[in-house]
């Protein structure tokens, strides 16, 4: 086939342009470490990468939620441990107070200590977390949940709500226990229920009257049980969070791997491609110069 002089030139130029385009792309891939530079490079993979990004982000958020839930539950557990300690101390006092050899004065002294513990208990039940929310107010976290109405009347002003956090795609965990459940549902020694505070208050009043009641121990034991039950439930929830967090971690790892397979560049392949393309460009540049130098006019 005939070939025209300008076409020889154009073909040489086109070849160099094409190779430069390919080279520039490989260079950009090497610079970013990414195989996919725009969705059109691999539309289905790049959408998958977007989805994976979203999943990875979501799973990171679940980890944040888990961490927050853990912090909050551990705080609650710490407070409840102290509550348990207070109750245990009062129980010891109750055992001591039942000793028939004690004088009215001795009992009065114990009563003072019981009242101090009652104040401590009330303070603990009104504990706040780091963000200033009352721990045991249910969802009314801005409302001081427990108040002393005087004469052994203690009111609960929170509600029965328990906040749940999303710690996995399908798993929510409750991060609080309403004070109503923890402090207000203790056996009152008369077949009904009452608050822990009442139990301590009544105990102190009995001591001051120098007539310890037989039901005090029952009431205190019920209170201790209540606290232990709640702590057990917190422990179970902490375990749940732990196992969910492990699951989230391995899920996250799997997602990252998937993403890397889809998006990341195979450097070995890319570098050898780069070398090949460089060679091809140099070859076309050299052949261009040689061919362009050829002309019959040179010999006329």
Partner 1 sequence: MASGDLFSIGTSGLLAFQRTLNTISHNIANVNTDGYSRQTVDLATRPPQATGYGFSGKGVETVTIRRSYDAFVESSVRSSTSATAEFEAFHALASQLDNVLANTDTGMSSSLQRYFNAVQDVADTPSSPAARQVLFNEGQQLATQFNELADWIEGVRGQVNSEIQNGVNEINQISAAIAELNQAIVIEQGRAGHPPNDLLDQRDTLIKDMSELVSVTTLKQDDGSVNVLIGTGQVLVRGNTATSLGVIQEAGDPNQLGVAVQGNGGVVVPVTSQISGGRLGGVINFRDQLLDPSSNSLGLVAIGMGNFVNEQHQRGMDLNGVLGLDVFSVAQPQVLTVAGAPGNVSVAFDDVSQLSNSDYKLQFNAGAWELTNKLTGQNIAMTGTGTAVDPFIAEGMQIEIAAAPANGDTYFLRPTRNGAMDMQMVLANSRQIAAAAPVRSVSATANVGTGVITAGSVTDINNAVFQSTPGQLAPPVLVRITSATSYDIYDNTNTASPVLLEAGIAYDPATGAELFPTPGGLDHGYRMHLSGAPLAGDEFSSEYNTGGIGDNRNALLLAGLATDKLMYGGSASITDTYNGLVVDVGTGTKQAEINSLAQKRILDQTLATRESISGVNLDEEAANLVRYQQAYQAAAQVISTANSLFDTLLNAVRR
Per-residue string for binding with partner 1, 197-236, x by CB under 8 A? ----------------------------------------
Task: Determine, following the binding rule CB under 8 A, whether residue 170 of this chain makes contact with partner 1.
Answer: no
- Per-residue tokens: 249: 């971690």
CB 78 within 8 A of CB 167: no
Per-residue string for binding with partner 1, 53-92, x by CB under 8 A? xx--xx--x--xx--xx-----------------------
CB 129 within 8 A of CB 75: yes
For partner 1, which residue of 17, 31, 33, 43 counts as binding (CB under 8 A)? 43
List, in order, residues 6 or more apart from 186 with CB less than 8 Å away. 193, 194, 195, 196, 198, 199, 219, 222, 223, 226
Establish how many alpha carbons lie within 13 A of residue 38's alpha carbon, considering only the half-sphere containing its beta carbon: 3
Number of residues that bind partner 1 (CB under 8 A): 59
Task: Determine, following the binding rule CB under 8 A, whether residue 163 of this chain makes contact with partner 1.
Answer: yes
**How far, in Å, are 60, 64, 105, 180, 262 from residue 54 at the CA level?**
10, 15, 70, 40, 15
Q: What are phi and psi of 129, to 5 degrees?
A: -95, -175
Any long-range contacts for 157-163 (C-beta under 8 Å, 24+ apart)? Answer: 158/134, 162/138, 163/139
Q: CB of 172: closest distance to partner 1 in angstroms?
A: 7
Task: Determine, following the binding rule CB under 8 A, whether residue 265 of this chain makes contact with partner 1.
Answer: no
Stretch that binds partner 1, among 74-82, 114-122, 128-136, 284-292 (CB under 8 A): 128-136
Task: Determine, following the binding rule CB under 8 A, whether residue 268 of this chain makes contact with partner 1.
Answer: no
In the complex, the residues that contact partner 1 under the rule CB under 8 A are: 1-7, 11, 14, 38-44, 46-47, 50-51, 53-54, 57-58, 61, 64-65, 68-69, 131, 133-134, 137-143, 159-166, 169, 172, 176, 180, 184-185, 192-193, 295-297, 300
């Amino acid at each position: 086939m005939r070939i025209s002089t300008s076409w020889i030139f154009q073909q040489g130029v086109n070849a160099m342009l094409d190779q430069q385009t390919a080279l520039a792309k490989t260079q950009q891939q090497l610079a970013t470490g990414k195989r996919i530079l725009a969705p059109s490079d691999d539309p289905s993979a790049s959408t998958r990468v977007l989805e994976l990004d979203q999943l990875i982000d979501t799973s990171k958020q679940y980890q944040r939620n888990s961490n927050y839930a853990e912090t909050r539950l551990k705080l609650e557990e710490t407070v409840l441990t102290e509550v348990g300690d207070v109750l245990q101390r009062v129980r010891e006092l109750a055992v001591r107070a039942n000793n028939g050899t004690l004088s009215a004065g001795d009992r009065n002294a114990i009563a003072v200590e019981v009242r101090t513990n009652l104040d401590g208990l009330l303070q603990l039940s009104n504990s706040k977390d780091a963000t200033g929310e009352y721990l045991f107010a249910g969802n009314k976290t801005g409302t001081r949940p427990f108040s002393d109405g005087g004469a052994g009347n203690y009111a609960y002003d929170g509600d029965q709500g328990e906040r749940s956090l999303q710690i996995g795609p399908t798993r929510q965990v409750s991060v609080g226990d309403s004070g109503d459940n923890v402090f207000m549902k203790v056996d009152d020694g008369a077949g009904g229920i009452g608050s822990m505070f009442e139990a301590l208050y009544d105990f102190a009043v009995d001591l001051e009257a120098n007539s310890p009641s037989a039901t005090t121990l029952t009431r205190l034991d019920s209170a201790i049980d209540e606290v232990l039950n709640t702590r057990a439930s917190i422990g179970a929830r902490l375990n749940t969070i732990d196992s969910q967090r492990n699951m989230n971690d391995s899920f996250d790892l799997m997602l990252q791997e998937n993403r890397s397979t889809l998006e990341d560049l195979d450097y070995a392949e890319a570098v050898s491609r780069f070398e090949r393309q460089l060679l091809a460009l140099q070859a076309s540049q050299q052949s261009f110069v040689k061919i362009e130098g050829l002309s019959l006019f040179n010999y006329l």
